[in-house]
């Protein structure tokens, strides 16, 4: 009897390992693709309309643009922002007021400090931002990007409260070792700051070797805060286009939906 009780845990452990292994082996990107790449841009800036989108369009690539409700560019150039969705680009939710943890950043205004937010407050802000963005692009489904990659209000995570509100959400973090590890509402990305073109390409290659995904978190393009130069940005786009037979570059929405459907 004792032998049986010793064997059963071993069998259960082996069975769980095989399930995880088979699940990982079963995941495949569509067609011949070996990796997925998402180009995401935060804060709704003029340089996204003036530089990033024309560059993406010239290479026939699609990007995801996370706009705050109080973006000056979105307010002053709403027709331009609406037009990019007609070209296949995605506009995502980045809150109304870009609240962040004031303990991490001294530029956060007291009224927008997530440490003093309530769960109802962040949910209401996100739902209102969704309504506003629907008025811009007519889309009913939306993805979200955590502001400053912060995901807590008053030291309580609000990740689970987003699962019925958004198709997926982007945070930060290392390239996943396997797709089984990816929480669609806490997807990892790299917040780039002054990278070279080679740095950007190497990031994709690292994800390609793992067979997972590379999500870029851009802010300013061609000059500004948390910047990527036009040259480095263009070098990445050219590389993605040259290897489009094995690298799937698409909006965050489309890639996350594919992962969800594959599960």
Question: What secondary structure, in 3-state letters, does 134-187 show?
Answer: HHHHCCCCCCEECHHHCCEECCEECCHHHCCCCCCEECCCCCCCCHHHCCCCCE
pLDDT the model gives residue 26 = 82
Please count the other Cβ atoms lying within 10 Å of the Cβ belonging to residue 57: 15
pLDDT, averaged across the chain? 92
- Residue 7 has a pLDDT of 45
- Determine the average pLDDT of the residues in 113-129: 98
Contact 87, 59 (CB under 8 A): no
pLDDT of 21 reads 45
For residues 47 and 74, is the Cβ–Cβ distance under 8 A?
A: no
Give the Cα separation of 72 and 116 in Å (integer): 25
The percentage of residues in the chain with a pLDDT greater than 70, rounded to a whole number, is 90
Residue 232 has a CB neighbour count (10 Å cut-off) of 21
Instruction: Kindly provide the residue ranges of all beta strands, DSSP E only, lying in the chain, ordered along the sequence.
Output: 35-42, 64-67, 90-93, 144-145, 152-153, 156-157, 169-170, 190-191, 213-218, 247-249
Domains of the chain, start order: 35-262 (3.20.20.370)
The pLDDT value given to residue 34: 98
**Cβ–Cβ < 8 Å for 38, 255:** yes
Residue 96 has pLDDT above 50, yes or no: yes
Question: Hey, what are 239's tokens?
Answer: 């590389």
pLDDT of residue 12: 43
pLDDT category of residue 8 using cuts at 50, 70 and 90: very low
Rounded distance, CA 39 to CA 37, Å?
Answer: 7
Per-residue pLDDT averaged across 36-64, rounded?
Answer: 98
pLDDT at 52 over 60: yes
Which one is predicted more confidently, 6 or 45? Answer: 45
Structure tokens at 161: 């409260």
Q: Among 143, 131, 129, which Cα is nearest to 89's?
A: 143
The whole-number pLDDT of residue 259 equals 98
Helices 78-86 & 119-137, crossing angle to 10 degrees? 80
pLDDT digits (tens, 9 = 90+) for 183-201: 999 999 999 999 999 999 9
Identify whether the C-beta of residue 93 lies closer than 8 Å to the C-beta of residue 130: yes
């Amino acid at each position: 009897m004792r032998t049986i009780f010793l064997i059963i845990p071993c069998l259960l452990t082996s069975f769980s390992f095989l399930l995880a292994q088979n699940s990982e082996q079963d995941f495949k990107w569509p067609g011949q693709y070996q990796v997925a790449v998402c180009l995401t841009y935060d804060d709704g800036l003029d340089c996204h309309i003036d530089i990033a989108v024309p560059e993406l369009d010239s290479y026939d690539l699609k990007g995801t643009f996370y706009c705050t409700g109080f973006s000056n560019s979105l307010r002053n150039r709403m027709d331009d922002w609406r037009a990019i969705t007609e070209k296949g680009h995605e506009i995502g939710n980045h809150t109304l007021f870009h609240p962040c943890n004031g303990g991490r950043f001294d530029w956060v205004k007291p009224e927008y400090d997530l440490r003093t937010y309530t769960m109802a407050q962040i949910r209401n802000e996100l739902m209102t931002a969704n309504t506003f963005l629907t008025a811009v692009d007519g889309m009913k489904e939306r993805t979200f990007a955590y502001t400053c990659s912060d995901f807590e209000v008053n030291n309580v995570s609000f990740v689970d409260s987003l699962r019925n509100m958004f198709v997926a959400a982007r945070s930060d973090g290392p390239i996943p070792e396997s797709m089984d590890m990816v929480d669609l509402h806490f997807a990892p990305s790299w917040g780039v700051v002054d990278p070279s073109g080679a740095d950007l390409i190497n990031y994709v290659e690292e994800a390609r070797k793992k067979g997972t995904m590379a999500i870029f978190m851009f802010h300013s393009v061609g000059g500004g805060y948390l910047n990527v130069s036009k040259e480095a940005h263009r070098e990445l786009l050219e590389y993605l286009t040259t290897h489009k037979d094995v690298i799937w570059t698409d909006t965050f929405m489309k890639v996350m939906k594919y992962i969800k459907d594959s599960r």
